[in-house]
A and B are shown apart, each in its own frame.
Chain A
Amino acid sequence: MEQLELHQLEDHCIQEHLPPCTAACPIHVDVRGVLAELGRGNSAAALTLLNKTLPFPGIIGRVCDHPCQTACNRKDAGEALEIAALERACAEWGGPPTPPKVFPKKGKRVAVVGGGLSGLTAAFDLVRKGYAVVLFETDGRLGGSLWEISEELLPRTLLMEETRRVEALGVEIRLNAPIADESALAELSATFDVVYLAVGTLSACSFGLALDAQGCVQVDPVTFATDRAGVFAGGGMLHRPGESSFVLAMSEGRRAAISIDRYLQKVSLTAARYNEGPYVTRLYTNTEGIDPLPAVSMSDPRAGYTQAEASQEAHRCLQCECMECVKVCEYLEHFDGYPKKYIRQIYNNLSIVKGTRYANTFVNSCSLCGLCAEVCPEDLDMGEVCRRARQIMVAQDRMPPSAHEFALRDMAFSNSDKFALTRHAPGTEASAYLFFPGCQLSASAPQQVEKTYVYLREVLSGGVGLMLRCCGAPAEWAGRTDLFEEVQAGFMADYRALGSPQVILACSSCYRIFKEYLPDVTCVSLWDLFDAHGLPEEAGAVPQEGRAPLAVHDPCTTRHESHIHESVRHILERLGCPVEELLLSREKTECCSYGGLMWLANPELARDVVRRRIGESPTDYVTYCAMCRDFFAAQGKPTLHLLDLLFPLSVEGYGSEGVDGARRGPGYSQRHENRIRLKRHLLRDVWGEHVETERGDEMIPLRFTEAVQERLEQRLILVEDIQAVIAFAEKTGTKFVNRETGHFLTHYKPNNVTYWVEYAPEGDGFVIFNAYSHRMELVEEESA
């Protein structure tokens, strides 16, 4: 991933942007942080944090016009926080401030003209940076226009005490020292390296500086440089009376100090200076569902908040952040970050030459479902980021082989002769339609695939062909562009041979793949067809009266297919089935963990994802994706497939029987077996062909206990793998024996995995006691 591509993606995540209060504050006080400390009752910690940006908290807490409060998101849920009063409380209850750190002297001299808040702030910042600062004040006291504030609001002792802090830091104060005209400025410029002018509202004298149309001193809006070299200006003299504020004056003093420092260090005054003044943040904070709360009132408004009141008020702070995607995604929450952080980790992961790629698991754990993009105020899709990252990992030859291999083998199986089949309907030589049930529905519910094919041939004219294959989704999820293209080419060849009919898709993952990658292939969702052509007769076989309600789980790959959502709800309505809508449904639906092969790359997380989804309603679920159904049912959530309601009568001949929502789906081996049988049944029943499937090792009869079978499922070891191992052992005699138990132990590596099987002969077959596998290879061929 290119650096630029990364930065562009990263920029879409706004989680690290400042909260609205801080962005609106001209000097960007960390209000959220201060209020968090206050809310916890830590006044001292709150004051320390406040002091980081604010040199005179006691004063500003009383006189600030608090633009932060106008921006506060709390106003949408009650009233805005009383931020100014809380700052004042901080200064009041936080104890004496810790003196700020002062850098070593740099040997340059700065003159600050004006002892108001702007000049004081500039002097404060510059003396800390190590400059020798002399402050010239016309009057006999510091504070400038602060003395116009009533004594009741701003006690004089506080005013004098806080302004005197600059002196304690080493600023030389010259009171009764007016700098009142151009020649006095010229004299200062000759004696000092830089001059900062902050004399308040201009009266008669403009120091011979350029003025704007309003009659105010004209400065560069970013650097506060005047038209005279080495002279900067800020505060009231830049504004018409009443158009500035104390906190803005401080902000300008601070920004001018940054410029002065850069000017004296002879570096660019303008480089990388953005958002230094007040601005509107991009940070989004959702206030929906937050209980409205009014501001905490003060028992004595003149005295301000007591410590307890301040803590209570601060506790109302929403601690603004976005996290919209993280809130709805178990995966994004699981790794303790948010997209901006994750994208940086992915970038590092892809750039590592030597070392551990810690983000591999992260990249491979995403279901690629796109819910994050749906809820993101800036449309950032982490699924797309992870999909791209996987493709790059594959291209770099850095994709962990164990991550997706099992699913890719399953895909290869589905596209092999064992399952793959392409036919026109019997007795026809043309197809207007092509039914493509998909690999997983065929594995989970082969009997319903058979029935659906009968239904389609009844309601549609012009011929309905059939194609059994996998659409290639596993390869796309695994970043295996090579395999994906191969699968698509295979499909296209068969599809063209049939005369390019309209493809009927039962699986929404297939639907997404076709829509995205084969735009020239006309597709229709099976559910839209049921809705248009009426329900199968069999659907009426179960009485509709008093049906229990079902909550609809939309498969994540239908996210942007609202027509499918509608069709499914129409069908349920016609079935007389009361429908409950989940909070996250339709375009905001969640993935069942099958998407993106999360279930394979991160089984623990996948379990949590399913648990979260099935816990969203106590009502039984109905869905129209075989994997969603099987995954939910596997963790105890009764879930029906829509086909269970359309074809409620079970058929004999497959591993799983019945259409009970609580039934467990077939295991991995049975899924293969079901596909083999589906092909055989269809050929026999629809085309009248009797096929002897080539089944070598797979004819070896095996017997397991349920516990062993469960273990094989967990270890992703298929019956066909075990059969291959035993066939090899029995043929070559390569095995170990335990004389005590009579068991054999043997191993074989039919693919990238070595399988070990403990077994014993029994009748015409074998009983299996255990099996395990590894990927490491042994060098054992040479004789000892």
Chain B
Amino acid sequence: MTEYGHQAADEVWECARCGVPLEPREISVSYLDSAFPVELLRCPKCGQTLVSEELALGKMIEVEKQLEDK
């Protein structure tokens, strides 16, 4: 999967718990016994990770469908 670490200027999220900006980080996502590394925004302190709407409804759903048909 491609990188999704970039945010539009009006969509800057920070961790509400830790009060720090998010940083891009390679995260493992898994579904139906398959796992992939994806670059996602993540709180450097607590590890809370963000999945954007664009990723969820775009590439993720596409890969989910592919894996479901494997």
Which residues from chain A sit less than 8 Å from chain B, CB to CB?
Answer: 355-358, 360-361, 400-403, 733-741, 744-745, 747, 754, 756, 770, 772-784
When the two chains form their complex, are residues A779 and B48 in contact, meaning their CB atoms are under 8 A apart? Answer: no
11 contacts between A and B (CB under 8 A): A361-B69, A735-B16, A736-B22, A738-B13, A738-B14, A740-B12, A773-B56, A779-B29, A779-B30, A779-B35, A784-B25
CA distance A733 to B53 in the complex (A): 21
When the two chains form their complex, are residues A744 and B47 in contact, meaning their CB atoms are under 8 A apart? Answer: no
CA distance A402 to B50 in the complex (A): 22
Which residues 32-64 of B sit at the A interface, judged by CB distance below 8 A? 32, 35, 40, 42-51, 53, 56-57, 60-61, 63-64
When the two chains form their complex, are residues A774 and B60 in contact, meaning their CB atoms are under 8 A apart? Answer: yes
When the two chains form their complex, are residues A401 and B68 in contact, meaning their CB atoms are under 8 A apart? Answer: yes
Report A685 CB to chain B, min CB distance, Å.
44
When the two chains form their complex, are residues B68 and A781 in contact, meaning their CB atoms are under 8 A apart? Answer: no
Given A756-B56, A775-B64, A783-B46, the answer on whether A745 and B13 have CB atoms closer than 8 Å is: yes
Given A775-B31, A776-B63, the answer on whether A734 and B48 have CB atoms closer than 8 Å is: yes
Given A736-B15, A737-B16, the answer on whether A774 and B49 have CB atoms closer than 8 Å is: no
Report B66 CB to chain A, min CB distance, Å.
8
- Report B-chain residues with C-beta under 8 Å of the C-beta of A776: 29-31, 60, 63-64
When the two chains form their complex, are residues B68 and A402 in contact, meaning their CB atoms are under 8 A apart? Answer: yes
Q: What 0/1 readout, one digit per residue, does chain B (1-32) give for beta carbons within 8 Å of chain A?
A: 00000000011111111000010010111111
Number of B residues, CB within 8 Å of A: 40
Report A61 CB to chain B, min CB distance, Å.
52
Q: Is the contact region of chain B dominated by helix, strand, or loop, or is it mixed?
A: mixed
When the two chains form their complex, are residues A734 and B17 in contact, meaning their CB atoms are under 8 A apart? Answer: yes
CA distance A782 to B17 in the complex (A): 16
Given A356-B70, A756-B56, A770-B53, the answer on whether A784 and B44 have CB atoms closer than 8 Å is: yes
**Whose C-beta in chain A lies nearest to the C-beta of B57?**
A772
- Report B-chain residues with C-beta under 8 Å of the C-beta of A361: 69
Given A356-B69, A783-B47, the answer on whether A739 and B64 have CB atoms closer than 8 Å is: no
Given A734-B17, A736-B14, the answer on whether A777 and B29 have CB atoms closer than 8 Å is: yes
- Report A-chain residues with C-beta under 8 Å of the C-beta of B56: 756, 772-774
CA distance A402 to B67 in the complex (A): 11
Q: Which 8 A-B pairs have the closest CB atoms?
A: A400-B68, A736-B13, A737-B16, A780-B49, A774-B56, A779-B28, A776-B31, A735-B16
When the two chains form their complex, are residues B69 and A358 in contact, meaning their CB atoms are under 8 A apart? Answer: yes
Given A772-B53, A774-B60, the answer on whether A780 and B42 have CB atoms closer than 8 Å is: yes
Given A400-B68, A402-B68, A774-B56, the answer on whether A780 and B47 have CB atoms closer than 8 Å is: yes
**Whose C-beta in chain A lies nearest to the C-beta of B9?**
A740
* Total CB contacts across the A-B interface at under 8 A: 104
When the two chains form their complex, are residues B64 and A778 in contact, meaning their CB atoms are under 8 A apart? Answer: no
- Report B-chain residues with C-beta under 8 Å of the C-beta of A357: 69-70
- Report A-chain residues with C-beta under 8 Å of the C-beta of B63: 776
Report B51 CB to chain A, min CB distance, Å.
6
For the complex with contacts A738-B13, A778-B27, A784-B42, 13 further pairs of A-B residues with Cβ separation under 8 Å are A355-B70, A360-B69, A736-B15, A738-B14, A740-B12, A741-B10, A770-B53, A774-B60, A775-B60, A777-B29, A778-B51, A781-B47, A784-B46
**Whose C-beta in chain B lies nearest to the C-beta of A745?**
B13
Report B50 CB to chain A, min CB distance, Å.
6
CA distance A734 to B46 in the complex (A): 9
- Report A-chain residues with C-beta under 8 Å of the C-beta of B32: 401
- Report A-chain residues with C-beta under 8 Å of the C-beta of B68: 360, 400-403
Report A387 CB to chain B, min CB distance, Å.
20
CA distance A400 to B63 in the complex (A): 12
Report A359 CB to chain B, min CB distance, Å.
9
- Report B-chain residues with C-beta under 8 Å of the C-beta of A773: 56
Given A774-B61, A776-B63, A784-B25, the answer on whether A733 and B16 have CB atoms closer than 8 Å is: yes
- Report B-chain residues with C-beta under 8 Å of the C-beta of A770: 53
CA distance A744 to B53 in the complex (A): 14
CA distance A777 to B63 in the complex (A): 12
- Report A-chain residues with C-beta under 8 Å of the C-beta of B16: 733, 735-737, 744
- Report A-chain residues with C-beta under 8 Å of the C-beta of B44: 784
When the two chains form their complex, are residues A736 and B64 in contact, meaning their CB atoms are under 8 A apart? Answer: no
- Report B-chain residues with C-beta under 8 Å of the C-beta of A356: 66, 69-70
Contact of B17 among A401, A733, A740, A754 (CB under 8 A): A733
When the two chains form their complex, are residues A778 and B49 in contact, meaning their CB atoms are under 8 A apart? Answer: yes
- Report A-chain residues with C-beta under 8 Å of the C-beta of B51: 747, 754, 756, 774, 778
Q: Which of B15, B35, B64, B68 has the most CB of A within 10 A?
A: B68
Given A360-B69, A778-B27, the answer on whether A784 and B47 have CB atoms closer than 8 Å is: yes
- Report A-chain residues with C-beta under 8 Å of the C-beta of B66: 356
When the two chains form their complex, are residues A784 and B69 in contact, meaning their CB atoms are under 8 A apart? Answer: no
**Whose C-beta in chain B lies nearest to the C-beta of A743?**
B13
CA distance A123 to B22 in the complex (A): 84
CA distance A612 to B42 in the complex (A): 48
- Report B-chain residues with C-beta under 8 Å of the C-beta of A780: 27, 42, 47-49
- Report B-chain residues with C-beta under 8 Å of the C-beta of A777: 29-31
**Whose C-beta in chain B lies nearest to the C-beta of A738?**
B13
CA distance A776 to B13 in the complex (A): 21
CA distance A733 to B16 in the complex (A): 7
**Whose C-beta in chain B lies nearest to the C-beta of A399?**
B68
Contact of A737 among B13, B25, B60 (CB under 8 A): B13
CA distance A371 to B7 in the complex (A): 51
- Report A-chain residues with C-beta under 8 Å of the C-beta of B47: 780-784
**Whose C-beta in chain A lies nearest to the C-beta of B54?**
A772
Report B13 CB to chain A, min CB distance, Å.
4
- Report B-chain residues with C-beta under 8 Å of the C-beta of A779: 27-30, 35
Report B30 CB to chain A, min CB distance, Å.
5
CA distance A747 to B14 in the complex (A): 14
When the two chains form their complex, are residues A778 and B53 in contact, meaning their CB atoms are under 8 A apart? Answer: no
CA distance A101 to B16 in the complex (A): 79
Given A740-B12, A780-B42, the answer on whether A745 and B60 have CB atoms closer than 8 Å is: no
CA distance A776 to B4 in the complex (A): 15
CA distance A750 to B14 in the complex (A): 24
Report A246 CB to chain B, min CB distance, Å.
55
- Report B-chain residues with C-beta under 8 Å of the C-beta of A738: 11-14
CA distance A144 to B68 in the complex (A): 67
- Report B-chain residues with C-beta under 8 Å of the C-beta of A772: 53, 56-57
CA distance A355 to B66 in the complex (A): 10
Report B24 CB to chain A, min CB distance, Å.
12
CA distance A779 to B38 in the complex (A): 11
Contact of A745 among B28, B50, B61 (CB under 8 A): B50
CA distance A747 to B28 in the complex (A): 17
- Report A-chain residues with C-beta under 8 Å of the C-beta of B45: 783-784
CA distance A90 to B49 in the complex (A): 72
CA distance A358 to B49 in the complex (A): 33
When the two chains form their complex, are residues A737 and B29 in contact, meaning their CB atoms are under 8 A apart? Answer: no
CA distance A770 to B48 in the complex (A): 20
CA distance A732 to B14 in the complex (A): 16
**Whose C-beta in chain A lies nearest to the C-beta of B55?**
A774
When the two chains form their complex, are residues A736 and B50 in contact, meaning their CB atoms are under 8 A apart? Answer: yes
Report A364 CB to chain B, min CB distance, Å.
10
- Report A-chain residues with C-beta under 8 Å of the C-beta of B57: 772, 774
**Whose C-beta in chain A lies nearest to the C-beta of B17?**
A733
When the two chains form their complex, are residues B69 and A735 in contact, meaning their CB atoms are under 8 A apart? Answer: no
Report B54 CB to chain A, min CB distance, Å.
9
- Report B-chain residues with C-beta under 8 Å of the C-beta of A733: 16-17
Report A342 CB to chain B, min CB distance, Å.
17
CA distance A733 to B46 in the complex (A): 11
Given A735-B17, A774-B64, A777-B31, the answer on whether A400 and B12 have CB atoms closer than 8 Å is: no
CA distance A740 to B42 in the complex (A): 19
Q: Which of B32, B45, B49, B51 has the most CB of A within 10 A?
A: B51
